[in-house]
Chain A
Amino acid sequence: MLVLLLECCFCLAAWLEPIHASKVNASEHTDSVLGSLLGDGRKFVADYFAVQADVYFHSGYYPSVFDEARAQEVQDSDISHPETGKHEEKGFMGPPRDWIDRFSRHFRPSRHFHLEGNKTEEMLPWLKLSAELDPQRVQSYLDADYWLRTVGKSVDAEDFVRQGLRANPHSPDLLYALGQIYLEDRKDYSRAKNLFLAAKKEWHKRDDPKPAVSKNGEEVKDYLLLESTLSGLIKAEEATGHLDQALRYLEELKPDAGDPAGVQKRINELQAKIKAQSGSNR
């Protein structure tokens, strides 16, 4: 009886396994060892690693999960953390609450400043691990791309962004990032233009169906990305001498631009330049 049961189990397994294997997506990402160990929890760990990169950027001076400032810091999407003046900013700690708090500040990072120069490379392992654990986390690729290009590693940045695009082929953010590499680092304007056009197309596919504002009154569409993409197209067209096309992109940019007056000024300048060029050609 036992042998019969074992034989039934074996036959079932042999029948079900190929069916399951054929249903698995062929392009499914093959997990690393760490990803396999963590399972679905890897997205949580990927987010933690991405925050660790930010902790390293702040040289350890970072609000804990118990500090209210942490939520704000984690949501701060501006990678470069621009300062208006000195690099040292106000911190989240505030005045010490008691003698233990005051004494503890001698034994942990207690000033707010950012890593500079080649030191910013110290963040990269965390971003790479974050991307490995959650390849759909586009922000990891964007952050790493920014810092790699800052230290002059454009080739590594391109490789990493391409790795991100393999996992997220329709990401307008990654297409824009790759376009920026070709525009600013390679000076390959035709390729940059193609990438920006692809980014624009994917942006419209992703963001056009979204409502303009959410229920909280916040903007849902990423107009900053659209503006950046169009700006990239304008630069590429200007660099290759296609001023008419550049003008068309400026006019497309104007309605959604953060500074419509500034864009109009550029339009006027470009129109004057086109007129002057056509006047000198006669």
Chain B
Amino acid sequence: MNKIFAVSAVVIKELYRRKDFYVLFILTALITLGMASMNFFHDDHIVRFIKEICLALIWISTLVIAITTAARQIPAERESRTIFPLLAKPIARWQVLVGKFLGCWLATGFALLVFYIFFALVSASREHTLHAPAYFQAFWLHWQMLGVIVALTMLGSVALSTPAANMTIVFVITLGILSMGGFLHLAAEKMTEPSATIVTAIYFLIPHLELFNISELIIHDWPLVDWLDLLGLTGYGLCYAAFFLLAACLVFRRKALN
């Protein structure tokens, strides 16, 4: 485990050295504060609109951070030839991969935490209350979802030829699942065979990332999600992350590095 943590520590340090996070955070903050300064019919209590904009920006920013960070890890090591001295040490390939995954996931988690703290401050300044348990649930599920995406991106980084192709494919898959994943079964009902069966199979096989998005509950002040359901969804996310990570390890084990 020490070897895995050592690899992950390097990844975490890499994130706060790069400009991606700072640029995206400043952009999110500027847009959110700009929206918050707009006057709608002389009412200072309108807050849901700002929450929606801020959460949408957080989702976009953290997706970009997670996918670009994870997609670069193995290819960058290969291009700079540092993968060889790394593997010359007493560390297995799977440990490198898991370490990279853990580092990306934790780094993305830290970035996500900063975003959500900003979001909580902006909301609290308008509403004069802090829905800490609800925001924690949103942050936790968002982080679990990013774990699935980071694992998928790691699989892509060892299976595909270039980081650009990997990032594009993962973005398309992620956005597709987030927007349409929950409705594939509705679409399948209107299709003829064999399309209906194929779409239904895809519906049951894909990781339903849209389940992790509880922004609607946060924006419209719905009650908390039941903690057991939260635990169940966390387990669901971890299973998919583990599956993608296992697949990545199997591919990486036999991959030529030069």
Contact = CB atoms under 8 A, between A and B. Distances in A.
- Interface core residue of A98, A100, A148 (most chain B CB under 10 Å): A100
B183 A64 contact: yes
Interface residues of A, number: 27
Interface stretch (B112-120, B164-172, B224-232): B224-232
A14 to B, nearest CB: 38
Given A121-B46, A124-B43, A107 B233 contact: yes
A107 B208 CA distance: 12
Interface string B26-54: 00000000000010111101111100000
A121 B225 contact: no
A122 interface: yes
B256 to A, nearest CB: 39
B216 interface: yes
A265 interface: no
Contacts of B208: 100, 104
Contacts of A125: 38, 40, 46, 49
The contact size tier of chain B is: 35 or more
Interface of A: 56, 59-60, 64, 66-67, 97-98, 100-101, 103-104, 106-109, 118, 121-122, 124-126, 128, 148, 153, 156, 160
B229 A100 contact: no
Given A109-B220, A121-B41, A125-B46, A104 B183 contact: no
Given A104-B182, A121-B46, A153-B41, 11 more contacts: A56-B48, A97-B185, A98-B204, A100-B182, A103-B211, A106-B226, A107-B214, A108-B217, A121-B41, A128-B40, A160-B41
Nearest to B232: A103
Contacts of B177: none
Contacts of B213: 107
